[in-house]
Structure 1
Amino acid sequence: MYKQISLLLGAGLLSTLVSAQNLYMNDMKLKSDLDWLNAQGVIQISTSTWPLTGNEIKRALAAANIANQTQQQVIASVQSTLNDYGREGVKATVDAYVQTDREALPQNFADDKTAGQEAVFGLGLSEQDWEFNLKARVKNDDLIDDSTVDFDGSYLAGKALNQWLIAGKIPAWWGPGHEGSLIRGDATRPVTGFTMQRDEQTAPTSKYFSWVGPWQYQLFAGQLEDYTSAPDANLFGMRLTANPWPWLEAGASRTFIWGGEGQPRSLSSFVDALTGLRDNGDTGKEDPANQLAGFDLRFNLAPLTQTPAGIYASYVGEDEAGGLPSKKMYLAGADYASQINDMPYQLYAEYTDTRTNGHVRNISYNHSIYKDGYYQQGYPLGHPLGGDAESVSVGGKLWVSPEDFVTAKLQYAKVNQADNDINQAFPTTDKLKVVDLTWSHQWQPQALINTRLWAVDSDINSTDIGAGVGLELTYR
């Protein structure tokens, strides 16, 4: 019977894959949908490198192995996101959000509401091989900077030979974590620059390399804002992921800050930074860049044991020793996806340690030459807690109905244990106990309501209880 359900629902799905949007930026609801389907063994898609492309999502859905109505419900949720455009053409959005003070609330994936009051006006145009998106955000009382207008999320992109080239201010995410990425997260403003990646992550056709399975790369080059220790410093990054088996995804990432006023900008210094040959100062010369690199793995248990769960881990090093990253930071977690009363849910637990090999040494996300560290405008380019932090989080996500999606998180964190003031997210040593709840309600096809409640108990500040509410309107 399950095979009949799979065939019937799959045939209907193929007939409705009509999305014209090409690029999907960091989106908690979309990532949660895809993660749940991955853990259930319904689809195989990598969600560790953002942005995602519409064609890759459709490729995964076209091969979906749907066995029950609950899985079809989540498939329909993804398809609803893909149908946001419905056809090639123009899309306009208006998004307003207000919230109380949230200075002590840790950020997580796609958590970009950092102003007390903001209104975002968006205009997008999508065609088969190119896409344009303009976003203007008017804001007040922002955590990260004092500007009243920014254009975060704006970009121009074109595709050729299965490759996308994106120019603009887009967020990124590298790694399998729910709460953060050790090397490239979205806790700071998007870095202005160029991104290149594949459209569809198909496996190599060569008999010698087909074992690699579906794979993706991402290259990035951009310029940091308000980097006072070396103005106009540049950020470069590269990531490679592969799925050699349905139960395993492996990733490798590397970034470096190079150039800027007062620093070498020669071709030879760039080559040294790119190759990492002088990363740890063994040559007796100054390091040409602030460099990080690391590896991550995710094991999906459904293909092996029919258990809808996953285990993941990553580590990132500040320097190199023996050809591998050293002075390491760690992240590990597990998640489980199931349903109760036909309501899908996902549970996860995650541990993060951004100290140096388990010790507070004021090295993580810090550098002797690039003294603003691995931050932009004082906010981390890696994990949202910044360096020398420890965190334990447990969370859950519940699809109450096709219109209602709820998330909940408990977190205990020790932040900035080195008491380094370059970390403006948490500028002093502190201990945090966090309760964080969100609810998204699709009020009408063109109207989405987002609400959030949180409580943060801090050792150095009084307990903060806050709330936020927003309304997003879409016109096609």
Structure 2
Amino acid sequence: MSLKHWALVGGAVACLGAQSALSAPWVNPGDAKARHELQKRVDRGDASLTTSTWPIMWPAINASSKVANADSSGSGAPLGVRLSRLKANDFANGSRGVVRVSGASAPRLVQGFEPAVQNDGELTLGYELQQGHWAFGVNVTGVADPEDDESFRLDGSYLAGTLGNLVIGVGAIDRWWGPGWQSSLILSNNARPVPSVWVNRKTDAEPETSWLKWIGPWNFTAFVGQLEKERAVSEPALIGMRFTMRPVEGLDIGLSRTIMFAGEGRPNNGSALWDALTGRDNSQDGGDNDPGNQLGSIDLRYGFAFGDQTVGLYAQMMGEDEAGSFPGKKSWLFGLDWTTSLFGSDQQWFAEYVNTLADDFLGDSLPNISYEHFNYRTGYRYYGRNMAASVDGDAIATTLGVYHFLPQGMTFSASLTYAELNRDGVSRAVRPNPEVNYVIPALGQELLLADFGVKTPLPAGELSLNVQVADDRIELVGGKLDRVAASATWQYQF
């Protein structure tokens, strides 16, 4: 879309302010402590809402009747109140400012729900305002020696308003679709956020119609965005849709779909869009009439109380282009997460397996399919990074991770990952911009990575430190990554 398009959309969103109230914005993906707190209470039955689609709206958290009327944790405060206390960025006066300085010794390939710093140096100045019926945020970032050749960014900026139980917005915000802690097979915050127009439900209220009440709490989100210019097909649109429901207490079900559509030299009329939405003529065999590059996924998570703690079992299946109603050429993710309270503190644990080599888990493997496409030859990537699993396609990875939350506000994290990258040793992606570091494994490689992090409040702001150590340098299509990557972030909010 042109800048004129974005301006018109932004004006339309601002006009929604007169319709209803937006009491607060959302909990962004990447906040492991907030996710632990929310997911644990939901698994214990203190709240009833879906927790596998991020960002999660504050009104959805606060509107849960179980949260408002009962809190078995004994804290004496509703969940929404306690969650807001987890972060120094609670909007006590309706607005806030932020200064963030970060840097990394080297970029990294593998990352999870909490993304890592990827550039030599970044300086961000931000301001957010919530005024009853609308929310606005602008984040201006300058980057030294950027990995993607973009030294000026507006990532994290947005304008949003409400219309009944809908939130309509425009901007570039991070998303995470699925129950995984280390990976999402369809959409994650591994890449930079795609500028888009979006709509989602403000709360997860159950259907009022009696014959639909079996769905339970549910949510829906959809967006239309635009990818970058320097691609094999320049400036294609990215369409995303996700529906989640909770038909049984403890069970979250998610259905997701993304479509890469149009772009320079590709069909962009209504007929082509209809073909893309209905899955007509999809294949991986080539052909100019294929309407787009499409992914579909199904995910499940069942969480339950285990004494004073909680346990969750989850899975996600992603399929590439396939004619018909069900995705084919499948990738898989399986995981187990659980909580403990040891040494006077809380812990969040997870063990996760992901396989992005198409059909490898239950059949004959099909390399160079997952996250690739014969027309959109830069693949399912944005500014050099996969928009879903950080290990990219044709990979297997197993991760064991833990977060340790101290009462004083400090967080320690650690994870160990064994990965088999690019198992057939071939890279199919077209890389048109030589200034972008395409984080795509070049060779078949086995790898062991250890990741350690600490986040601590300071008298002025918050400091985050992280280091990742690999047993070998990772071979990317543009060169080798260092075995050790260290990063630091200082953030001050006012």
Q: Same fold, TM exceeding 0.5? A: yes
The CA deviation at 1:326 is 0.5
Distance (whole Å) between structure 2 residues aligned to residue 241 and residue 350 of structure 1 = 21
* Contact 2:259/2:294 (<8 A) preserved: yes
Shift of 1:88: 4.6
Of the structure 1 ranges 434-443 and 411-420, higher mean CA displacement relative to structure 2 is found in 411-420
Corresponding residue number in structure 2 for 1:443: 458
Instruction: Return the offset for 1:363.
Output: 0.7
Deviation at 1:282, TM superposition (A): 9.8
Structure 1: which 5+ residue stretches go unaligned? 1-18
1:266-277 to structure 2, matched below 5 A, reads 266-277=269-280
Paired letter, 1:149: F
Counterpart for residue 135 of structure 2: 131
Residue 362 of structure 1 pairs with residue 381 of structure 2: no
In the alignment, is the contact (CA less than 8 A) between 1:415 and 1:426 conserved in 2? no
Q: What is the deviation of 1:37?
A: 2.8
Helix, strand or coil for the counterpart of 2:186?
coil
- Map residues 74-223 of structure 1 onto 2, 5 A cutoff: 78-81=83-86, 84-103=89-108, 105-111=109-115, 113-143=117-147, 145-223=148-226
Q: Deviations over 1:420-441 (max 9, x none)?
A: 1638223312222111111111
Q: Does 1:474 align with 2:493?
A: yes
Cα distance in 2, alignment partners of residues 373 and 98 from structure 1? 28
8 Å contact kept, 1:41–1:65: no
SS of 1:395's partner is strand
Deviations 1:73-112 (CA, angstroms, capped at 9, x unpaired)? 9987513147733435321100111221133x41212415
Q: Which residue of 2 aligns with 1:353?
A: 355
Please tell me whether the aligned partners of residues 106 and 118 of structure 2 are also in contact (alpha carbons under 8 angstroms).
no
Match of 2:295 among 292, 300, 315: 292
Q: 1:74 to 1:440 in 2, by over 3 A?
A: farther
Pairs aligned (count): 452
CA distance in 2, matches of 1:227, 1:237: 21
Match of 2:334 in 1: 332
Larger strand share, 1 or 2: 1
- 1:453 matched to 2:460: no
Alignment correspondent of 1:255: 258
Looking at structure 1, the residues matched to 132 and 29 of structure 2 have their Cα atoms a distance apart, in angstroms, of 21
Q: 1:285 to 1:114 in 2, by over 3 A?
A: closer
Q: Distance in 2 between matches of 1:435 and 1:47?
A: 27
Distance in 2 separating the partners of 1:20 and 1:267:
37
Task: State the shift of 1:220 in Å.
Answer: 0.8
Contact 2:391–2:421 (CA under 8 A) maintained in structure 1: yes
Task: Describe the shift of the 1:68–1:229 C-alpha distance in structure 2 as closer, same or farther (beyond 3 A).
Answer: same
TM-aligned CA deviation for residue 258 of structure 1: 0.6
Q: 1:326 to 1:63 in 2, by over 3 A?
A: farther
- Matched residue type, 1:296: D
Cα distance between partner residues in 2 of 1:119 and 1:38: 36
More deviation, 43-52/124-133: 43-52
**Residue number in structure 1 paired with 2:345:** 343
Q: Deviations over 1:33-89 (max 9, x none)?
A: 2223334444333221111111112234425532456x9899875131477334353
- Structure-1 separation of matches of 2:487 and 2:259: 36
- Normalising by structure 2, we get a TM-score of 0.85
Q: Which runs of 5+ in 2 are unaligned?
A: 1-21, 432-437
Report the Cα distance in structure 1 between the residues aligned to 2:82 and 2:453, rounded to whole angstroms. 18
Mapped partners of 2:417, 2:298: distance in 1: 25
Q: In angstroms, what is the RMSD of aligned CA positions? A: 2.6
Establish whether residue 464 from structure 1 lines up as the match of residue 483 from structure 2.
Answer: yes
TM-score in terms of structure 1 length: 0.88
Residue 216 and residue 63 in structure 1: after superposition, are their counterparts in 2 closer, same or farther (change >3 A)?
farther
CA separation of 1:22 and 1:150: change in aligned 2, threshold 3 A: same
Offset of 1:281 from its aligned partner?
7.5
Residue in structure 2 matching 1:380, options 386, 398, 407: 386
**Equivalent residue, structure 2, for 1:5:** none
Q: Does 1:427 align with 2:477?
A: no
Letter in 1 for 2:193: P
Q: Is the 8 A contact 2:281 2:323 kept in 1?
A: no
Cα 1:462/1:130, change in 2 over 3 Å: closer
For the structure 1 residues 463 and 360, does the alpha-carbon distance in structure 2 shift closer, same or farther, using more than 3 Å as the test? farther
Report which stretch shifted further, 31-40 or 358-367.
31-40
1:52-71 correspondence to structure 2 within 5 Å: 52-60=56-64, 61-68=67-74
Q: Cα 1:64–1:48, aligned 2, differ >3 Å: closer, same or farther?
A: farther
Note the alpha carbon deviations across 1:338-388, whole angstroms, 9 max, x for none.
211331112110000000101252111111111111111221122111111
* SS of equivalent residue, structure 2 residue 121: strand
Deviates more, 1:466-475 or 1:208-217: 466-475
Which whole-Å CA distance do the structure 2 matches of 1:72 and 1:350 have between them? 33
C-alpha spacing 1:240/1:159, structure 2 compared with 1 (3 Å): same
The one of 389, 393, 403 equivalent to 1:397 is 403
Shift of 1:463: 6.5
3-state DSSP class of the match of 1:142? coil
